[in-house]
Amino acid sequence: MSAANGLDASRLPGGEAVARIRADTSHGASWLAREAARALAEASSSGDGDDSTRLRQSQALGQALAQVRPSMAAIANTVAHIWWAGVAQASVAAAQLAALRAEALAVDAHWGAAVVGMTQWARGAVEGPVYTLSRSGSVEGTLSTLARERSARDPLRVIVSESRPGGEGVALAQALAAAGAQVTLAADSACATLIDEAALVIVGADSVRADGSVVNKIGTHTLALVAHAAGKPVYALAEWLKVTPPAYPLVIEQGAPQELLAEPISGVTLHTAIFDITPASLITRIVMETGPVEAGALAQMADVAQRAYQALMHPL
């Protein structure tokens, strides 16, 4: 993939991460954003040429990473934030490269620690069975911690939709069971049947729009509609780096046709979207590292993300 400045990012230091992130269908946006941060750290500390050349190469890699998974704004926001922080801290290329690396390592560590704040919120909010789907790293980390903290006499109960296409819910169910949770794995279409057994719904988010809507694995909108009809609250766990710049294109990625149909059928068109959009009206609250956030805070985060994204995409 060529970046906006014409450089082939796949040939740059850290460039193999572009293809790796593009092909990864088993991990969520948080996990892949950390991969992007590590790739940018590598690019800023290695490579050929003088400091100015390496800085342009780092930007090219950041631009390519920002566009590789358009439904996962967390990746674009992560590299844009790293770039913006790095170039703003210094005016000399060598110092900018050092600042880029330091910020990339700090953001990588931030992603790893973000679940701590979400878990603190969950300790007070989760008082009954949880319904979830897909395999959000934030949700997995939060619920696994709760499960380990509970005693065997009072295990955390979680209902997990299998999350087709892809079936990532199966891996989540296995991880939560290993942590001590009492898990029910169900077909996605069973959510209306099982929702009354849940006290609340907790989902992840691959992107959070400035209006509070959430882009997540397909089926999230359906589960939220069912929960809303049943009077169950719906919470989306999302780090602040998932809040999307207003100018960032809303693109719903498509999956492989084979996930639905092994062989084509004449006259049959496949709907292969792997993400959907859940409107803000169906989300009780978005929970970030510091806890639940208000709509005004989301708008401010979106504005910051916008400036960082513009800085990344603007030629040096």
Q: Report, as residue numbers or ranges, the catalytic residues.
A: 206
- Do 220 and 133 contact (CB within 8 A), yes or no? yes
Distance CA 49, CA 70 (A): 31
Which region holds residue 180: left if phi is over 0, alpha if psi is between -120 and 50, else beta? Answer: left
The closest of 71, 83, 62, 57 to 24, measured between CA atoms, is 71
Q: What is the DSSP track for 87-115?
A: HHH-SSHHHHHHHHHHHHHHHHHHHHHHH
What order do you get walking across the sheet with 207-208 strand by strand? 207-208, 214-217, 275-278
The 3-state DSSP composition of the chain as helix, strand, coil percent (nearest 5) reads: 55, 15, 35
Question: Does 165 sit behind a cis peptide bond, omega within 30 degrees of 0 on the bond before it?
Answer: yes
The closest of 215, 250, 239, 243 to 301, measured between CA atoms, is 243
Alpha helices (H) in the chain, listed in sequence order? 16-23, 29-45, 51-68, 73-89, 93-125, 137-149, 168-178, 191-194, 220-230, 295-313
